[in-house]
Amino acid sequence: MSSEIIKKEDTKITLKLVVDSSKFEEAINKAYNKTKSKFNVQGFRKGKAPRKIIERLYGVEVFYEEAIDMVLPEVYGAALKEHDIDPVDYPEVDIEEINKGEDVVFTAIVEVMPEFEVTEYKGIEVEKKEYNVQEEDIQKELDDLLEKGARMIAVEDRPVKDEDMIIFDYKGMIDGVPFEGGSAERWSLTVGSEQFIPGFEEQLVGKNIGEQAEVNVTFPEDYHSEDLAGKDAVFEVIIHEIKEKEMPQLDDEFAKDVSEFDTLDELKNNIKENLEKEAGGKSEQELRNRIIELVSDRIDIKIPDAAVEKQVDNMLMDFGYNLQYQGLNLEYYLQATGITEESLREQMRPDATKTVKNELVIEKIGEQENIVATDEDIDEQIEKMANQYGQDLKEMRTKLGEQDLKSVREGIIFKKTVDFLVENAEII
């Protein structure tokens, strides 16, 4: 078996792969022994017909496909190793010559990452945006804690007002006829939450417990149910309960209830420290992202389509996971938004291309600067992963395969390379 590069352009390499006749003959014999039981030949028990008889009946090519599947991976893998080729995706293979008793010749078009050098990546001038924690930021966090600690108190001496939580029955009718899904008993609603169609909740303000009332509304023209869209409706409503939100006092006792601190001042200081840490992390991450963009934008390289599609696959998978956290799935999202998966992929392609390019540029700078992941770096990262997932360090090590370790190594080199760029940047 032999191979040679016969064409090289941009991100594609065309290989000529040759399997000598004796090697292919061996593969045909193996293919015959593997598949002979599938042939019914008159005069022979199933699986006992000689190869020559089967070839005479079905043609000499009858075992070629199986034989090719046997020899191609071997000759292709050897060619990649010989020519130091790292393919992005599966090759596009064509059979050029295949005749009985002769060498078999293939061509394989392989997509690879572009070859390039990165220059002028030191001394990059970049602006670092600082985020200062304001008093209102601290107050917002306190307000959120107050909201979580609020409780609903029943009221009976006044009518409904905005932001009340009410328990009520309703029955909807169009032209005096009830419609499907238009009624419920003891339904819970926070007035002003816009849970119902426009105009419904506003008409509940001022109503009293036990009072029967009519609410007149018009369904929006774009309502999801075509049977109701644009129709006038009347809802018969009776309110059973009114509850209002009672907020806790913002004092030392509140601080003790919601935290490990004894005083409100201690709680505020802790909130400020956490916000400052978040602000610092946000500022630092934005700086790193900006440096990557500035370096990457200086370089013009062609990104292989296969690499972009793989990144789109990853982005689509992450998007699906995020939907699951919200109790949804991709199929429901596509139906609800009326877009196709291909149009969603098309929207993702620009960002996918940018991500692949950025990763390539940082990887190349790491190579040029001889940045590596030491055994200590890898051990430290695995320990962080073990702590993150609450697993024993030894157990985590045994679970990591070769590809996992490769990803860990690449992640470390990426981070160290960006660290290098930050250290050598002119930060404003």
Q: Which CATH number is associated with domain 151-246?
A: 3.10.50.40
Main-chain phi, psi angles of 376, to 5 degrees: -65, -40
- Tell me which amino acid residue 176 is: G
From residue 250, alpha-carbon distances to 134, 147, 148, 255, 265 in Å are 19, 11, 13, 8, 11
Q: What is the pLDDT of residue 1?
A: 82
The pLDDT assigned to 9 comes to 86
For residues 95, 101, 103 and 106, what is the CA-based torsion angle, rounded to 10 degrees? 10
Using CA of residue 171, residue 172, residue 175, residue 179, what is the dihedral sign? negative
Percent of the chain with pLDDT over 70: 100
Segment 88-106, tens digit of pLDDT? 999 999 999 998 889 999 9
SS3 label, residue 72: helix
Cα separation, 261 vs 282, whole angstroms: 27
pLDDT value of residue 47: 86
Residues 6 or more apart whose CB falls under 8 angstroms from that of 12 comprise 109, 110, 111, 112
- C-alpha separations of 327 from 188, 321, 322 in Å: 21, 10, 9
- Do the strands 177-190 and 212-218 form a parallel or antiparallel pair, or are they unpaired? unpaired
Q: What are phi and psi of 390, to 5 degrees?
A: 65, 40
d(CA 52, CA 102): 17
Question: Which residue ranges in the chain fall short of pLDDT 50?
Answer: none
C-beta of residue 189 within 8 angstroms of C-beta of residue 195: yes
Whole-number percent of the chain with pLDDT over 90? 74
Region 280-427: CATH code: 1.10.3120.10
- Give the count of beta carbons closer than 10 Å to the beta carbon of residue 268: 18
End-to-end CA distance of the chain: 59
| pLDDT of 338 | 83
Q: What is the predicted pLDDT for the residue at 222?
A: 84
Domain ranges in the chain? 2-111, 151-246, 280-427
For 362-391, give one letter per residue: b (16+ CB within 10 A) or e.
bbbbbeebebebeeebbeebbeebbeeeee
C-alpha 382/C-alpha 391 separation (Å) is 11
Supply the pTM of this predicted model: 0.72
Residue 214: how many CB atoms within 10 A of its CB? 10
CB 217 within 8 A of CB 194: no
User: For the chain, how many residues are written?
Assistant: 428
**Rg, Å, the chain Cα set:** 34
Q: Please give the CATH number for the structural domain made up of 2-111.
A: 3.30.70.1050
Q: What is the pLDDT of residues 195-244, one digit of tens each?
A: 898 999 999 999 999 988 999 999 998 888 888 889 999 999 999 999 99
Q: What's residue 352's pLDDT?
A: 96
Determine the 3-state secondary structure of 29 from DSSP.
helix
Q: Which is nearest to 361 in space by CA: 113, 111, 83?
A: 113
What is the token pair recorded at 321? 């996971």
pLDDT at res. 94: 94
